[in-house]
């Protein structure tokens, strides 16, 4: 079993680290999915972020919520309802989206299909790529036999015309991209095979009458254990859990103590791991809500105990299996935000909020929903009124042993809810389990695609053609030197780069081998090194100097702005190619190529001042003293964007900027006629804009 376990984990790691395949990592409760995620973050060199559907799940996974990262509304999102172009993201977040390699979604069973499609829309929009999820690799972690997504009837009315199911696998984007499924099988939480068999039968909805009868032998009428035994009640409804805890606390004769949390920065209330004002008494039954990260490992998330003493700083908790009470002091939870390190250009986890509180909560009872991910030695299960798929399984699987489990009511067979759609999905998962051969093929295809991308100049070709089209449409407004200079660039690009690259891509195909990875193919590596040296020389010695020296002045400011922006986009593409070819002169290695490509995109500094401002997803522009109206408006726009934590085009779009320069309005009434201005905007910033026009126009 150990060998099989290691093989499954290693297979999952290799698919995530060395391929671009999307991965659905599943497994029964207690099989180590969360541990896998924790280890993965230490192993991968890919740029990743972790998200989860709820605040508590996100804090536990060390990530952020889906809705906060992607700024999605909480209601239903029918296809086409989300308009990504209207979402206002900071420059930092756009940079994060554009350089992301891997998106990890934990507790995927609770994510709705339309939410996954909302993520797809945002990533495609800001990565400027049409592939599902903008080409980002997905790692989806969860067990579909556990808690389902919450779908209100009104939301499903809106979604039903588009989706067969609200579960994540109903996502229209996900259906367009293949993924592999890997199911972890070894259970760490339980060791009793008899109990494991019952749990597996419930999970797979094939429990026999004899198994159900054996389970229901754990029903004990009027069971009321003393608190020192450490039983916790798991119930289906929040109200029931609250009533049990309140009544138990009130019955204790000892005085109440209110422990107040320290909350700093941004930490939303729905993500609080315990009460901000925690009312406790000596004699109260409590549960730890955090793992002890110290060397002693004295407690874990879900451990039950009883308070024996307390003062202003320390709560003493006696757990049934410990020889003496544990001294519990306040611990810290962090709310993180993903950002870009300006020095290394790596994705970093930046703490934006801090919650400090004793890692305890009242625990005579909690809801089954809140128990997901926890482990208990002793539990009273009140699940006869289970109303959602997976509730009975989640509740029972929290327990380590059958002997430590007591039923408040017998479990009726109808409460073990089955869904035909999930049964079909589980069968499909079994057919998608990959083997080592598929892993090898996926690695090979991933490396081959990266090489084809490396030697593709399609984007540069598109931008070159775009510039030529603008030049052709506005010849009268351009200096003659501009047209001749850019035509020289276009001719050189066509002869020495585009044509050569197309021919080399055809040659690459002949070097691709069914029996060797590109990284391990010496003949292919030799060709890559020689081609990289050639393209590096042409780009660095000829193309970039020619592009930078091309005149960019026009008698029409609007045309000049459009050309500046397009030429600097072209400069960015060439800069990225140059950096990638430089790194490939010594040989091609997939992860190194990805890293260099992202670093180049982040490090690029456009040659023109306006382009610096337009590259809002890169490091902030350094705009000096304005010399023209254009410079003044660009500088003002940048300052406004920085002040209000938004992107420059959200303040003034490129078209609005160009129209202001062409029209030069002199009054609020004339300013209202400019596209992008309304009465509110004129009232807020009109005088500033008009003042700049008077000074520099």
Question: In this structure, what CATH number is given to the domain that contains residue 679?
Answer: 1.10.150.80
Q: Can you give the pLDDT at residue 547? A: 84
Are residue 302 and residue 334 in the same domain, yes or no? yes
Q: Which of 25-39, 239-253, 325-339 has the highest mean pLDDT?
A: 239-253
Are residue 581 and residue 512 in the same domain, yes or no? yes
For the cut 80, the answer to whether the pLDDT of residue 362 exceeds it is yes
Query: Considering 547, 571, 605, which residue would you say is the last residue of a domain?
Result: 605
The residue range of the domain holding 70 is: 2-188
d(CA 309, CA 293): 23
Q: Can you give the pLDDT at residue 401? A: 86
Are residue 514 and residue 580 in the same domain, yes or no? yes
Exposed/middle/buried for residue 467 (C-beta within 10 Å: 0-12, 13-18, 19+): buried
For the cut 60, the answer to whether the pLDDT of residue 345 exceeds it is no
User: Predicted confidence band at 392 (pLDDT cuts at 50, 70, 90)?
Assistant: confident
Q: Can you give the pLDDT at residue 186? A: 67
Q: Can you give the pLDDT at residue 433? A: 81
Q: What tens digit of pLDDT does each residue of 442-494 get?
A: 999 999 999 999 999 998 998 899 888 878 887 777 776 777 778 888 999 99
Q: Which of 122-136, 178-192, 379-393 has the highest mean pLDDT?
A: 122-136
Q: Can you give the pLDDT at residue 622? A: 38
Confirm whether 530 is domain-assigned: yes
Higher pLDDT, 154 or 140: 140
> What percentage of the chain reaches a pLDDT higher than 90?
26
Q: What tens digit of pLDDT does each residue of 47-62 get?
A: 888 898 877 667 666 7
For the cut 70, the answer to whether the pLDDT of residue 437 exceeds it is yes
Q: Can you give the pLDDT at residue 474? A: 77
Are residue 368 and residue 478 in the same domain, yes or no? no
Are residue 632 and residue 583 in the same domain, yes or no? no
For the cut 70, the answer to whether the pLDDT of residue 618 exceeds it is no
Are residue 497 and residue 560 in the same domain, yes or no? yes
Q: Structural domain tally of the chain?
A: 4
Confirm whether 611 is domain-assigned: no
Q: Can you give the pLDDT at residue 647? A: 53
Q: Can you give the pLDDT at residue 4? A: 44
User: Predicted confidence band at 2 (pLDDT cuts at 50, 70, 90)?
Assistant: very low
Q: Can you give the pLDDT at residue 518? A: 93
d(CA 186, CA 195): 14
Higher pLDDT, 36 or 555: 36
Q: Can you give the pLDDT at residue 553? A: 67
Exposed/middle/buried for residue 678 (C-beta within 10 Å: 0-12, 13-18, 19+): exposed
Q: What tens digit of pLDDT does each residue of 401-416 get?
A: 888 899 988 887 777 7
Are residue 155 and residue 232 in the same domain, yes or no? no
Query: Considering 365, 388, 418, which residue would you say is the last residue of a domain?
Result: 418
Q: pLDDT averaged over the chain?
A: 82
Sequence-distant (≥ 6) Cβ neighbours of residue 622 within 8 angstroms = 612
Are residue 520 and residue 592 in the same domain, yes or no? yes
Within 10 angstroms of residue 194's Cβ, the number of other Cβ atoms is 11
Confirm whether 432 is domain-assigned: no
Are residue 163 and residue 77 in the same domain, yes or no? yes
Sequence-distant (≥ 6) Cβ neighbours of residue 22 within 8 angstroms = 137, 138, 139, 140, 174, 177, 178, 179, 180
Are residue 31 and residue 144 in the same domain, yes or no? yes
* Mean pLDDT within 98-107: 89
Q: What is the 3-state secondary structure (H, E, C) of 383-404?
A: CCCCCCCCHHHHHHHCECCCCC
Sequence-distant (≥ 6) Cβ neighbours of residue 610 within 8 angstroms = 561, 564, 565, 568, 630, 634
Q: Can you give the pLDDT at residue 529? A: 94
Are residue 127 and residue 156 in the same domain, yes or no? yes
Are residue 463 and residue 496 in the same domain, yes or no? yes
Phi/psi of residue 580, nearest 5 degrees: -70, -40
């Amino acid at each position: 079993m150990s060998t099989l376990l290691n093989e499954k984990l290693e297979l999952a790691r290799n698919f995530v680290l060395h391929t671009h395949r999307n991965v659905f990592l599943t497994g029964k409760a207690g099989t180590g999915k969360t541990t896998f995620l924790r280890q993965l973050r230490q192993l991968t060199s890919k740029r990743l972020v972790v998200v989860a559907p709820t605040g508590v799940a996100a804090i536990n996974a060390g990530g952020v919520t889906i809705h906060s990262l992607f700024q999605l509304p909480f209601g239903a999102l029918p296809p086409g309802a989300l308009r990504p172009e209207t979402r206002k993201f900071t420059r930092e977040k756009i940079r994060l989206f554009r350089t992301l390699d891997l998106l990890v979604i934990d507790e995927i069973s609770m994510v709705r299909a339309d939410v996954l499609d909302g993520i797809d829309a945002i990533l495609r929009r800001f990565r400027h790529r049409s592939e599902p999820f903008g080409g980002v690799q997905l790692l989806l972690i969860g067990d579909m036999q556990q808690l389902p997504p919450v779908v209100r009837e009104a939301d499903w009315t809106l979604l039903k015309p588009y989706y067969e199911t609200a579960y994540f696998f109903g996502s229209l984007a996900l259906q367009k991209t293949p993924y592999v499924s890997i199911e972890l099988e070894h259970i760490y939480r339980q060791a009793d095979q008899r109990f494991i068999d019952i749990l597996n039968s419930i999970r797979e909805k094939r429990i026999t009458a004899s198994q159900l009868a054996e389970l229901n032998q754990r029903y004990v009428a009027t069971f009321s254990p003393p608190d020192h035994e450490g039983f916790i009640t798991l119930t289906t409804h929040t109200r029931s859990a609250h009533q049990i805890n309140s009544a138990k606390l009130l019955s204790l004769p000892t005085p109440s103590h209110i422990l107040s949390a320290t909350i700093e920065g941004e930490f939303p209330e729905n993500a609080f791991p315990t009460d901000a004002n925690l009312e406790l008494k000596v004699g109260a039954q409590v549960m730890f809500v955090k793992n002890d990260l110290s060397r002693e490992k004295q407690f874990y998330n879900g451990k039950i105990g009883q308070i024996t003493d307390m003062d202003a700083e320390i709560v003493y908790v006696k757990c049934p299996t410990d020889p003496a009470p544990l001294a519990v002091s306040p611990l810290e939870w962090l709310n993180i935000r993903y950002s870009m390190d300006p020095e290394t250009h790596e994705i970093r986890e930046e703490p934006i909020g801090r919650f400090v509180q004793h890692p305890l909560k009242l625990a005579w009872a909690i809801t089954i929903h809140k128990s997901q991910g926890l482990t208990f030695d002793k539990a009273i299960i009140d699940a006869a009124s289970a109303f959602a798929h997976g509730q009975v399984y989640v509740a029972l699987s929290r327990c380590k042993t059958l002997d430590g489990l007591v039923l408040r009511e017998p479990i009726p067979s109808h409460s073990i809810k089955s869904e035909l759609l999930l049964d079909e999905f589980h069968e499909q998962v079994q057919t998608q389990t990959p083997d080592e051969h598929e892993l090898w093929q996926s690695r090979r295809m991933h490396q081959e695609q990266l090489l084809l991308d490396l030697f593709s100049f399609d984007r540069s070709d598109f931008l070159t053609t775009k510039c030529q089209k603008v030049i052709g449409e506005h010849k009268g407004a351009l200096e003659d030197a501009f047209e001749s200079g850019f035509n020289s660039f276009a001719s050189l690009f066509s002869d020495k780069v585009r044509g050569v690259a197309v021919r080399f891509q055809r040659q690459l195909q002949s070097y691709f081998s069914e029996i060797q990875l590109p990284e391990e193919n010496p003949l292919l590596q030799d060709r890559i090194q020689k081609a990289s040296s050639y393209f590096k020389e042409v780009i660095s010695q000829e193309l970039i100097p020619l592009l930078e020296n091309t005149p960019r002045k026009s008698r029409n400011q609007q045309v000049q702005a459009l050309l500046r922006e397009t030429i600097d986009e072209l400069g960015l593409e060439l800069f990225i190619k140059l950096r990638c070819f430089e790194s490939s002169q010594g040989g091609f290695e997939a992860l190194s190529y990805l890293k260099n490509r992202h670093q180049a995109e982040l490090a690029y500094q456009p040659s023109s001042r306006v382009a610096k401002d337009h590259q809002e997803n890169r490091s902030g522009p350094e705009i000096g003293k304005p010399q023209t109206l254009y410079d003044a408006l660009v500088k003002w726009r940048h300052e406004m964007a920085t002040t209000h934590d938004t992107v420059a085009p959200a303040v003034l779009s490129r078209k609005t900027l160009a129209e202001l320069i062409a029209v030069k309005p002199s009054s609020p009434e004339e300013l209202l006629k400019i596209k992008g201005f309304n009465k509110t905007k004129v009232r807020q910033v009109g005088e500033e804009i008009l003042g700049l026009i008077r000074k520099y126009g």
